[in-house]
Amino acid sequence: MSTLTEEIKKKESLNGADRPSANALEHEAIYILREVAAQFEKPVLLFSGGKDSITLVRLAQKAFWPAKIPFPLMHIDTGHNFPETIEFRDKLVKELGVELIVRNVQDSIDEGKVVEETGKYASRNMLQTTTLLDAIEEFKFDACIGGARRDEEKARAKERIFSVRDDFGQWDEKNQRPELFDMLNGEIEIGQNVRVFPISNWTELDVWSYIQKENIEIPSIYFAHKRNTFLRDGLIWSAEDDVVFRADDEPVEERMVRFRTVGDMSCTAAVESYADTIDKVVAEIRDSRISERGARIDDKRSEAAMEKRKQQGYF
C-alpha cells in the first residue's frame, strides 16, 4: 500500500490537481465522440476551418489520447474560403498527423451537378450540400461529425445529437429518434448516415471561453484587423477579394473588423471590432447584443431558411 500512496503523491505533484476540470459540456462532447468511434465503421469529422470545428478537433484529441484521432477530417471547399483559413487548416492537419480529405464545390460546378448562383446575393453556401452528399457516397461515410450548435438557430434547436439522414441525405424533422439519458442509438441501414453534433449544447460563448481556457490557436480573421470593406443591408462585407459582388454605388472603406463565423466568404459578413486578443473577443461576445448568425445572410433569406436547407441535407 505504501508504494501506492507514494505513487499517488508523485502523480499529484506532477499535475497539481486531484481531479480534471468540471466542464460538463466538455465531458459530454468527449463521450459523444467516443460513441461515434465505437458505433460506426467509417466516421469523418467535417472540418470547415472555423472555430467550432477547431474546437471539435481539440475535443477529439482529448477523447482518444494518447492514440491519434481515429477518423479523417474532411473539408468541403467552396473555393471562396478566406485564405487564412486554408493556411491554418493545412498546418493543423500536419500537426495532428491525421488524414485530410478535400472535396471542391468547383468540381461539382464543373461536372454540371450544380449551377452557380448569380446576382447580388450569389453564394456557394447552398451548393456545398451536393458536394458533401457526393463525398459521403464516395467514401461510404456512415457518420459525419459536425460543429453545429443548437443555440445558433431555431431549427437547429430541435436537432438530435445523433441525427439520422436517409439515402438522399435528408433530415426528417418530424420523425427524429428520441434521445434518452446518455444513450445514443447509432443503428442505421446501409446507405443511411448519421450527422453527429458533439457540441450541440454549447453556446457561442462556451466555445470562445473554451478556446481561451485551452489556448487553442484559431485563424487570424477571428481577431480585429484592418480590412477594405463595403456596407450592404447594414452588414459589413469584405471588399478585398472578388468573391462578394460589389455594385458601383457601394463604396469601399477601410474598417477595423473581425469575423464571428468563418463560412463561405460570399455569405459571411464582418462585425466592427477592436477585439484583437482572445480575452477581448470573449469579453465582446459576453456583451454582444447581436446573435452570431445575425451576420449570416443565408439565414435571412426567410424565416424558415435553415430548416429548408437542413431538409435538403445541409450540414
Write out the residues near other proteins by the rule CB under 8 A.
4, 7-8, 11-12, 14-15, 17-28, 30-31, 34-35, 37-38, 61-68, 150-151, 154-155, 157-158, 164, 173-174, 176-183, 185, 187-189, 200-201, 203, 205-206, 288-291, 294, 303-304, 307
DSSP 8-class letter at 68: P
Amino acid, single-letter form, for residue 85: T
Residue 63 or 144 with smaller CB distance to other proteins: 63
CB of 166 to other proteins, least distance (A): 12
CB of 241 to other proteins, least distance (A): 26
Sequence-ordered list of residues with C-beta below 8 angstroms from that of 218, at least 6 positions apart, any chain: 51, 54, 88, 211
Residue 220 or 311 with smaller CB distance to other proteins: 311
> What is the residue-wise DSSP string for 173-234?
TTSPPP--TT-------TT-EEEE-TTTT--HHHHHHHHHHHT----GGGS-EEEEEEEETT
CB of 11 to other proteins, least distance (A): 5
CB of 303 to other proteins, least distance (A): 7
Q: 281, 258 in Cβ contact below 8 A?
A: yes
In terms of Cα–Cα distance, which of 246, 291, 293 is closest to 266? 246
Residue 109 or 188 with smaller CB distance to other proteins: 188
CB of 109 to other proteins, least distance (A): 30
Q: 279, 219 in Cβ contact below 8 A?
A: no
CB of 154 to other proteins, least distance (A): 4
Residue 67 or 115 with smaller CB distance to other proteins: 67
In terms of Cα–Cα distance, which of 267, 93, 90, 295 is closest to 204? 295
CB of 113 to other proteins, least distance (A): 28
Residue 124 or 156 with smaller CB distance to other proteins: 156
Helix or strand run (H / E) with residue 77? strand 73-77
C-alpha distances out from residue 220 to 89, 102, 105, 240, 269, Å: 12, 22, 24, 15, 15
d(CA 165, CA 191): 9
Residue 106 or 291 with smaller CB distance to other proteins: 291
Measured at the CA of 110, the angle between CA 106 and CA 112, to 5 degrees, comes to 120
d(CA 146, CA 44): 9
CB of 254 to other proteins, least distance (A): 26
d(CA 105, CA 283): 36
Residue 63 or 243 with smaller CB distance to other proteins: 63
Residue 77 or 298 with smaller CB distance to other proteins: 298
